[in-house]
């Protein structure tokens, strides 16, 4: 029955509000707050079909504070651009509600109408644009949906001699290529697939649907260790695209909680086991993932003015 299934999900949550008991589950059904993907409400005694997705709200439990400040890179009447710290989700989801960029920025700036125009992975830090007024929200969101902004990321990986994996064909000989430059970048194409409910993106056979341009590569000393610093420009927006690209080169991004441990088998097959994600209270905040949304360039959809924002990370 639907009520028994939902109670199992809630009662087995690692983070659960004390008052989120069985009667609270029944209250959700009575209020029509348990729905299928189609938006159709579910009754407590409905029998669920295998493979169904059920949508409901959970009551928030206390959250572990995420370190780091919301730094404002730019603010005007229409937009706010922040430097998002790592470990901070863009929007409320799962274990994170108050400890998200949106909620913290709304509280810090006193602007309840703030809304992100795009998203960054929770582990990625850097430039994140939000709209400050509902009247302009559509123009900026549409701009990102059409992939008009030019995005530049920096990624940190181990040196090739310390690579934990071998490169994946046809990129096996990438070390012999001429160094990438803005004038002569590398164009890396992959066919990627991400299935809802599966943790990682996988590489599949088929025509390329993901294009990543590498326009710079250098060695730097960071925190006492030599690392490779990649300048990456995604021309498509596949889930985990940059993380998968560097993993395919045998060099997962430093402190990537998923692809550093992902096996070659799991990189190509959803049947292979994936690493278990770390619970929020067990995360090591001293080891952020080495991926930075470094630059954001776009013509402003309202004024036509060329905008440029650069992360301080």
Per-residue pLDDT of 132-178, as tens digits, reads 999 999 999 999 999 999 999 999 999 999 989 999 988 889 999 99
Number of structural domains (the chain) is 3
For the segment 299-313, the average pLDDT, to the nearest whole number, is 97
Same-domain check for residues 206 and 170:
yes
Same-domain check for residues 268 and 175:
yes
Q: How far apart are CA 137 and CA 132, in angstroms?
A: 8
The answer to the question of residue 291 being in a domain is: no
- Residue 246 pLDDT > 90, yes or no? yes
Residues 6+ apart with CB under 8 A from 117: 79, 129, 130, 131, 137, 140, 141, 143, 144
For the segment 62-71, the average pLDDT, to the nearest whole number, is 92
Same-domain check for residues 164 and 112:
no
Same-domain check for residues 22 and 104:
no
Predicted local confidence at residue 303, as pLDDT? 96
Predicted local confidence at residue 45, as pLDDT? 92
Condensed to tens digits (0 to 9), the pLDDT of residues 41-59 reads 999 999 988 888 889 887 7
The angle subtended at Cα 184 by Cα 178 and Cα 187, nearest 5°, is 85
Range of the domain at 48: 2-55
For the segment 64-79, the average pLDDT, to the nearest whole number, is 96
Same-domain check for residues 163 and 236:
yes
The answer to the question of residue 263 being in a domain is: yes
Q: Concatenated DSSP letters for 274-297? A: -PPPPPGGG--TTS--SEEEEEEE
Domain-terminating residue out of 146, 164, 185: 146
At residue 60 the predicted structure's pLDDT band, cuts being 50, 70 and 90, is confident
The answer to the question of residue 311 being in a domain is: no
The answer to the question of residue 117 being in a domain is: yes
Q: How far apart are CA 135 and CA 126, in angstroms?
A: 26
Same-domain check for residues 205 and 225:
yes
Same-domain check for residues 125 and 48:
no
Same-domain check for residues 261 and 187:
yes
Burial environment of residue 232 by CB neighbours within 10 A (0 to 12, 13 to 18, 19 or more): buried
Same-domain check for residues 207 and 244:
yes
- Give the three-state DSSP class for 186: strand
The answer to the question of residue 312 being in a domain is: no
pTM: 0.85
Condensed to tens digits (0 to 9), the pLDDT of residues 178-210 reads 999 999 999 999 999 999 889 999 999 999 999
Q: Which residue bears the tokens 């943790």? A: 199
CATH of the domain at 109: 3.30.70.580
Q: Concatenated DSSP letters for 109-175? A: HT-TT-EESS---TT-EEEEEEESSHHHHHHHHHHHHTT-SEEEEEEEE--GGG-SSPPPTTSTTGG
Same-domain check for residues 13 and 119:
no
Same-domain check for residues 47 and 83:
no
Same-domain check for residues 234 and 268:
yes
């Amino acid at each position: 029955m639907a009520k028994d299934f939902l109670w199992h999900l809630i009662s087995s949550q690692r983070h659960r509000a004390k008052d989120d008991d069985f009667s609270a589950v029944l209250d959700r059904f009575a209020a029509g707050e348990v729905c299928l993907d189609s938006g159709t409400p579910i009754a407590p005694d409905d029998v669920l079909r295998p493979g169904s997705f059920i949508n409901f709200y959970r009551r928030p439990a206390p959250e572990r504070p995420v370190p780091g400040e919301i730094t404002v890179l730019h603010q005007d009447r229409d937009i706010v651009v922040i430097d998002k710290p790592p470990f901070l989700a863009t929007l409320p989801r799962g274990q994170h509600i108050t400890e998200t960029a949106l909620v913290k920025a709304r509280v810090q700036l006193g602007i309840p109408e703030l809304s992100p125009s795009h998203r960054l992975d929770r582990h990625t830090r850097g430039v994140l644009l939000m709209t400050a007024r509902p009247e302009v929200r559509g123009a900026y969101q549409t701009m990102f949906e059409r992939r008009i902004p030019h995005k530049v990321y920096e990624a940190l990986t181990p040196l090739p001699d310390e690579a934990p994996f071998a490169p994946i064909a046809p990129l096996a000989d990438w070390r012999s290529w001429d160094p990438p430059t803005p004038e002569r970048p590398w164009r890396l194409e992959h066919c990627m697939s991400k299935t809802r409910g599966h943790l990682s993106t996988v590489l599949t056979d088929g025509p390329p649907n993901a294009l990543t341009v590498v326009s710079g590569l250098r060695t730097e000393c960071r925190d006492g260790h030599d690392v490779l610093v990649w300048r990456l420009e995604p021309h498509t927006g596949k889930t985990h695209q940059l993380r998968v690209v560097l993993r395919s080169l045998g060099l997962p991004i430093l402190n990537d909680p998923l692809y550093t441990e992902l096996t070659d088998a799991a990189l190509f097959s959803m049947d292979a086991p994936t690493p278990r994600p770390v619970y929020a209270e067990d995360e090591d905040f001293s080891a952020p993932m080495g991926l930075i949304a470094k630059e954001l360039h776009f013509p402003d959809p309202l004024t036509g003015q060329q905008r440029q924002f650069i992360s301080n990370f």
